[in-house]
Structure 1
Amino acid sequence: MSAANSVENTLKRATQQLQENGSDSPSLDAAVLLCHALDKPRSFLMTWPEKELSPLELAPFESLLTRRLTGEPVAYIVGEREFWSLPLKVSPTTLIPRPDTERLVELALDKALATQGDILDLGTGTGAIALALASELPTRNVMGIDLMPDAQQLATTNATNLEIRNAIFLAGSWFEPLESSKQFAVIVSNPPYIEENDPHLAQGDVRFEPLSALVAAGNGLADIRHIADKARHHLLDNGWLLFEHGYDQGLAVRNIFNELGYQEIDTFQDYGHNDRVTLGRYVKTQ
């Protein structure tokens, strides 16, 4: 019979607590936190389920578990989140990369492969989108821009840690750090798109994430409209602009693209079958 403080029973107790506390992924949360506390890989938990944990091993785990039970995101607790199979350092100054954003990467990669030229990621945060694209396109130059200098430094650190050398990161507001003549084949962005009074802002992990990276004026569309407008000056002829947006914003974003003269406008769904990415091509030579 497994001991009370075995790996298996420790995970069971933590999973139950997290489940009762409303975690969407209680068993995964418990495993990630225990691995972090023990500085062991996930395989250790499966290989040694009956291993008795000492008080010195349990204490840091209990501390991490308490933080999670107060609602703090696991990614902030352990300081890391995997995205596009890349381990990325995260911090409370940036959004936590989410699986649905990989859909944006897939679509941007598809457009980048059909074009020639540099790629820009606006509001880069951890650098997740830019680094995913740079890792898949090692001969292309990828640039990421974020308003927060701390985010720019974090993205640069992630690039260094991953030994990705074709991505650079700048700090500034949207296109402001760029030379006026700089143009790109693909511009991609996961900008703030949540309305200021959205009740989801008081729920789950979002409570701990920076509001500046989440909330936008104009029914959540102000930053999308601004970027779509200014992007026309920084896209190469026939270049592509792609946004991640809210599940109910597809039509509104398509209308913005249409008003600003984009062509081949389309909206794609995420893995949960919600509208999530809208894109358009900007043709300068008619």
Structure 2
Amino acid sequence: MLVVRSTSWLLKTRTNPITLLRQRICAEAPQPTTAAFTVGNVREKWKARFQTENIPEADTSILNILAHVLRLPSPADVRKSQDVVLNETQLVKVDELCECRLARMPIQYIIREWEFRDLTLKMVPPVFIPRPETEELVELILQQIPQKPMNFLEIGCGSGAVALSILKHAPQASGIAIDQSKLACELTLENARSLGLSENLRIFRHKVTDTLPEEIKERKFDMIVSNPPYVPSQQLLQLEPEIKVYEDMRALDGGPDGLTVIKAILEIAGRHLNVEGILWLEVDSSHPPLIEQFLEDKGPTLGLKYVCSYKDLFRKERFVEVSKV
């Protein structure tokens, strides 16, 4: 218990008495020990706070923030640094970033970068954040892509995750990426330059309808790939705050049935794929049979054939392969 002694000493100075009283109280109050500021304690403090506030993936969030502030190679390295003491600057930064997470800002926007397969990509709100499922899409593509010169088109590039992954692992490929967002186009270019992959990539700002930009309206491609907007419009308000508050809804809104942009892409594929070229789509799990039916009706006109669908890591039908005949 803190006892304030006689205040007669206040009269012997010209300093504000209230200020001196505060200084005396602070000096006599118990001070936090250095141990209170270790990585382990800070992690547990914010993990508990996140859990109390119902923040998703509480431990993952604080691990990523600590790794970012401490400049560690990965969140896993935080577990090896439990006894490291954070300095005042680091503590302030951790608190600042954790407050952003309490406001439901996605961790990718908070730390301004994210790992996609073996690429480190810069992230800027509200550009669409690549999901783990999209890494699976890239893996499917790379398993089948020929190791020879080929050209591809990505429709809706976002941060550039898909196009840049393809270019890194298929160095003989060349790509064109389009997106309706100016910020997304700029971010894709910035990521391409930082990864040394900009030489084989051209980027155009273009709203996805059933046409391509004027500069490439006559081009043909060996492959087209897209993770298009596919969320039905009426479901957008049901999305988590991390998505509906911070991300660009244009990258998510697929129209009444989620197929508006997908059908436009199928039209593009029919005109711009080379014979035996492949279209890869990431879609809602309800879409593969609808796309198959659409191509049964219009495929002969478009010159497209439904090949098959593939399941994601959650066992949902997520990826569709279509070929040009």
TM-score normalised to structure 1 length: 0.92
2:212 maps to 176
2:17 maps to none
- Give the conservation status (yes or no) of the 8 Å contact 2:154–2:226: yes
1:18 maps to 50
Match of 1:274 among 316, 319, 322: 316
- Give the conservation status (yes or no) of the 8 Å contact 1:258–1:265: no
- Give the conservation status (yes or no) of the 8 Å contact 2:292–2:306: no
The C-alpha deviation readout for 1:12-67, integer Å capped at 9, x for no partner, is 11122223333442222101111222334346534431122233221111110011
How far off is 1:93 after superposition? 3.1
| Distance (whole Å) between structure 1 residues aligned to residue 86 and residue 178 of structure 2 | 44
TM-score normalised to structure 2 length: 0.81
How far off is 1:204 after superposition? 4.1
Structure with bigger RCO (C-alpha 8 Å, 6+ apart): 1
| Distance (whole Å) between structure 2 residues aligned to residue 259 and residue 19 of structure 1 | 50
- Give the conservation status (yes or no) of the 8 Å contact 1:254–1:278: no
- Give the conservation status (yes or no) of the 8 Å contact 2:276–2:323: yes
2:14 maps to none
| Higher gyration radius (CA) | 2
| Mean CA deviation greater in 166-175 or 55-64 | 166-175
AA at the equivalent of 1:282: K
Please provide the CA RMSD for this pair.
2.1
| Distance (whole Å) between structure 1 residues aligned to residue 152 and residue 143 of structure 2 | 12
The C-alpha deviation readout for 1:102-148, integer Å capped at 9, x for no partner, is 12112222343288631111000101000011111001111111111
1:89 maps to 122
- Give the conservation status (yes or no) of the 8 Å contact 1:105–1:132: yes
1:7 maps to 39
| Distance (whole Å) between structure 1 residues aligned to residue 103 and residue 223 of structure 2 | 40
| Distance (whole Å) between structure 2 residues aligned to residue 99 and residue 200 of structure 1 | 22
- Give the 3 Å change call, closer, same or farther, for CA 219–9 of structure 1 in structure 2: same
| Mean CA deviation greater in 221-230 or 41-50 | 41-50
AA at the equivalent of 2:68: H
The C-alpha deviation readout for 1:202-238, integer Å capped at 9, x for no partner, is 4142121110000021311000001101211110011
| Mean CA deviation greater in 217-226 or 10-19 | 10-19
Superposed, 1:60-71 pairs within 5 Å as 60-71=93-104
1:212 maps to 250
Task: State whether structure 2 residue 280 is matched by structure 1 residue 242.
Answer: yes
| Distance (whole Å) between structure 1 residues aligned to residue 291 and residue 149 of structure 2 | 26
- What percentage of aligned pairs have identical amino acids? 27
| Distance (whole Å) between structure 1 residues aligned to residue 180 and residue 231 of structure 2 | 18
How far off is 1:282 after superposition? 1.2
Answer 1 or 2: which has greater helix percent. 2
| Distance (whole Å) between structure 2 residues aligned to residue 147 and residue 168 of structure 1 | 15
- Give the 3 Å change call, closer, same or farther, for CA 249–28 of structure 1 in structure 2: same
Task: State whether structure 2 residue 41 is matched by structure 1 residue 41.
Answer: no
Secondary structure in 2 aligned to 1:217? coil
- Give the 3 Å change call, closer, same or farther, for CA 115–225 of structure 1 in structure 2: farther
